[in-house]
């Protein structure tokens, strides 16, 4: 989640941003329930952001590794 600075935004803008990013707030739930937002492929929900971060994370173990040849010497 990005940050919003009080040096570049008004108090109203800061409050609006906070309301849209607080799951306990009515504005957040309204935005999440809005069908237009659900149907818009560019609208990023918390879950989409979370899954995108997980998808782009490097794996701790490679998915595939080559077999090493056996040497009989």
In the chain (73 residues long), the average pLDDT of successive 10-residue segments reads: 77 86 83 76 74 66 67 63
pLDDT at 60: 65
Distance (Å, rounded) from C-alpha 64 to C-alpha 71?
22
User: What pTM, to 2 d.p., does this model score?
Assistant: 0.40
pLDDT in tens, 37-53: 777 777 777 777 777 76
pLDDT at 3: 75
Q: Which of 5, 43, 1 is nearest to 22 (CA)?
A: 1
CA 42 remoteness from chain centre: 12
Residues in the chain, total: 73
């Amino acid at each position: 989640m990005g940050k919003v600075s009080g040096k570049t935004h008004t108090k109203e803008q800061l409050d609006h941003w906070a309301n849209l990013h607080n799951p306990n707030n009515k504005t957040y739930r309204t935005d999440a329930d809005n069908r237009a937002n659900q149907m818009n492929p560019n609208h990023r929900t918390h879950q989409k952001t979370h899954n995108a971060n997980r998808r782009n994370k490097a794996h701790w173990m490679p998915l595939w590794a080559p077999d090493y040849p056996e040497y009989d010497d």
